[in-house]
Amino acid sequence: MLHEYIEKIRPHFEEGGKLKAFRSVFDGFETFLLVPNTTSKSGVSIHDAIDSKRIMSFVVIALMPALLFGMYNIGLQHYSYIHAEASHLTMFLYGLCITLPKIVVSYAVGLGIEFTVAQWKHEEIQEGYLVTGMLIPMIVPVNCPLWMLALAVAFSVIFAKEIYGGTGMNIFNPALVARAFLFFAYPSKMSGDKVWISTDQVFGMGKDLDVVSSATPLGQAANTAFENSAEFLGSMDFSSYVIGTMPGSIGETSVIAILIGAFILLWTKIASWRTMVSVFIGGAIVGFLFNVAGPQTTIAQIPWYDHLVLGGFCFGAVFMATDPVTSCRTEKGKYIYGFLIGALAITIRVLNPGYPEGMMLAILFMNVFAPTIDYCFVNNNINKRLKRAK
């Protein structure tokens, strides 16, 4: 029945039809609803059932626990800041109402650009943005204005993805480019202690606030003088960091929720365990080195295991570092790539006085070097072949 309906409206979208300007949208929805019955004409006659739609949707599914917890945490942080009682459901609904517009804006702007480009290039719509569009709202502070989000999305889709040729050709992770764009263009809206608690009242839930002040644990650490570090370190609470009931970007706080996502990604073999594990090892080793021989600052004294569960470390390790397009493509290279991301992220955190989070810059930086790492391994293979020929 669905098939018949699609066949009926198809002529409108083809060349000469009155809706031909929406051909890419039609194609996108058609392949979304019905698996194309195109059969192979050359090469293998049979194909594996996997396709990029399924891969991307599984990444989105893997993001769900972190997103849902993030919504709840928005409510939790807001209500505990205003010292009001509220049920868990109210907190979640409050967070949902705060988050949903961000997701809608992210998808509307990003997919709008993707559809336009697909129409213009006469190509099929690519699914990559399904993941990026979900990631971007999850890695910004809750008070990031919608217009800013829209601007960042447009910038990253156009300048971090489409100009390179679309999903699969980009050098930088588009979601992180969007975050980096916001971070450098509007630093006051992306870090500090004013951005982590929602200031809005929605549908009678919550309370309108003029100014809030609540820093993330990493922010607090950065602002704590070394003399007071013992007190701060004593107040650190590993278990609440793992559960995620602390201020932070929407999706990044709960380690448990992120690990559920990690489990889905590793189970389905969509993400590389090599990269993921290496990030944690790199972060742990460097964190430990700072513990034993670091500078005299509070942040250097944060125990290495706390470093791994704070800020965007887990989220970056699971969902960003493992992006197959921008990470290393050789299996051995993935170990080095992951290790250096973890190591750099902690190094930036500890040594950069202005900014207490390093994951974003570490991953973007390693995106640049991923091809170089691959180059070494591929060249090794090439040299072996050359030597053999002699």
Partner 1 sequence: MERIFKLKKGLDLRLVGEARHEKKVLPLSSEYVVSPTDFYGLTPRLCIKEGDRVLAGAPLFADKDTERVKVVSPVSGTVAAIVRGNRRKITGIKIKADEKNQYADFKQLDLLNATPEKVLEALLETGMFALFRQRPYDVVANPGDKPKGIFVSGFNKMPLAADFSFTVKGEEEAFRTGVKVLAKLAKVYLGIQPEQVNTPILPIEEAEVNIFDGPNPSGNVGVQINHVAPVNRGEVVWTIAPEEVVMIGRLALKGVVDQRKTIAVAGSGIIDPFYYEVLTGAPFADILKDNHKTDGNWRIIKGNPLVGTQSCMEDAVGAHQTELCVIPEGDDVHEVLGWIMPRLNDFSVNHSYHSWLSPKTKAYDLDCRIKGGKRNMIMSGEYDRVFPMDIYAGYLIKAIITGDIDRQEALGIYEVAPEDFAVAEFVDSSKLELQKIVREGLDILRKENA
Shortest reach from residue 130's CB to partner 1, in Å: 11
Q: Helix, strand, or coil here: 89?
A: helix
Site for partner 1 (CB under 8 A): which residue of 77, 126, 132, 367? Answer: 126
Residue window 18-47: x/- pattern of binding to partner 1, with contact defined by CB under 8 A: -------------xxxxxxxxxxxxxxxxx
Distance CA 341, CA 338 (A): 5
Site for partner 1 (CB under 8 A): which residue of 124, 185, 238, 263? Answer: 124
Integer-rounded Cα Rg, in Å, for the chain is 23
Ranges within 371-390 binding partner 1 (CB under 8 A): 378, 381-382, 384-386, 388-389
Token pair for 66: 């972190």
The one-letter amino acid at 150: A
Site for partner 1 (CB under 8 A): which residue of 89, 104, 163, 169? Answer: 169
DSSP string covering 331-370? HHHHHHHHHHHHHHHHHHHHH-SS-S--HHHHHHHHHHHH
Ranges within 59-118 binding partner 1 (CB under 8 A): none
Shortest reach from residue 217's CB to partner 1, in Å: 34
Apex CA 189: angle with CA 306 and CA 215, to 5°?
A: 35
Q: Could you tell me which of 194, 191, 188, 209 has the C-alpha nearest to residue 79? A: 209
Tokens 């992210």 correspond to 106
Distance CA 188, CA 73 (A): 22
Under the criterion CB under 8 A, does residue 8 sit at the interface with partner 1? no
CB-CB neighbours of 257 under 10 Å: 25
Q: By rule CB under 8 A, what count of residues binds partner 1?
A: 58
Ranges within 269-288 binding partner 1 (CB under 8 A): 269-270, 272
Site for partner 1 (CB under 8 A): which residue of 24, 220, 249, 327? Answer: 327
Under the criterion CB under 8 A, does residue 237 sit at the interface with partner 1? no
Chain center to CA of 222: 24
Distance CA 384, CA 338 (A): 26
Stretch that binds partner 1, among 87-95, 211-219, 319-327, 345-353 (CB under 8 A): 319-327
- DSSP label at residue 82: T
Shortest reach from residue 113's CB to partner 1, in Å: 17
Apex CA 337: angle with CA 297 and CA 186, to 5°?
A: 55
Site for partner 1 (CB under 8 A): which residue of 5, 52, 237, 376? Answer: 52
Evaluate the CA torsion angle 311, 314, 319, 325 in order and state its sign: positive
User: Which residue lies nearer to partner 1 by CB, 213 or 381?
Assistant: 381
Under the criterion CB under 8 A, does residue 167 sit at the interface with partner 1? yes
Stretch that binds partner 1, among 18-26, 120-128, 250-258, 279-287 (CB under 8 A): 120-128
Site for partner 1 (CB under 8 A): which residue of 112, 294, 324, 371? Answer: 324
Interacting residue ranges for partner 1, rule: CB under 8 A: 2-3, 31-55, 57-58, 124, 126-128, 165-169, 267-270, 272, 324-325, 327-331, 378, 381-382, 384-386, 388-389
